[in-house]
Amino acid sequence: MPLTQLTPHHIAAAIRNVPDFPKPGIQFKDITPVLADAKLFAASIDLLTQNFKPGEVDAVVGIDARGFIFAAAAALKLRAGFIPVRKKGKLPYQTYEQPYDLEYGINTVAIHTDAVHPGSRVLLIDDLLATGGTAAAAAALLEKIGAKVLEINFLIELGFLKGRTKLQGYPVRSVIVY
């Protein structure tokens, strides 16, 4: 099928649901079949970036680790830079850190203190929005370094977990909502 005719429905059909991974009760959304299909991968990037043209975004920010895949491809398409938000302890230079709550315990994400110039226009991308803690922590880091967050976009949103409520004040878009 020509790329222009591919819709979120075609991407959704390729996402594999893996029950009880990585632990009992989790329905893991496996996006590797989407990545492996050249047209579906390209359509995913087109849909994630559809509100922007090259020159309108200074950097695309991806969240460790699957977010990197989509954000890096989106950055190339938009002729923008790519910036990683990583799990604590992985970035080599000076960082700001932001902890956030998990169901059990806390996680921490980090960004380089000089990742963008203040006022830079950034698009934040991750593969999946669940409870919203990860994306909210990433957005907080971007505020701290003075970035202007244009949109927060996901390939998949688990709507029943209401993660959007943690991202109020930002335009949030998802390609596929379960």
Catalytic residue numbers read: 66, 103
User: Given its phi and psi angles, is residue 134 left (phi above 0), alpha (psi -120 to 50 degrees) or beta?
Assistant: alpha
- 5-64 binders of ligand AMP (CB under 6 A): 26-29, 63
Half-sphere exposure of 155 (CA within 13 A, CB side): 32
Best CA proximity match to 148, nearest among 44, 48, 61: 61
Size of the site for ligand AMP (CB under 6 A): 17
158-177 footprint of ligand AMP as x/- string (CB under 6 A): -----x--------------
What minimum distance in Å lies between the beta carbon of 29 and ligand AMP? 4
Asked whether position 84 contacts ligand AMP by CB under 6 A, the answer is no
Distance CA 5, CA 54 (A): 22
If the CB atoms of residues 3 and 65 are measured against ligand AMP, the closer one turns out to be 65
**Binding residues vs ligand AMP (CB under 6 A):** 26-29, 63, 66, 126-135, 163
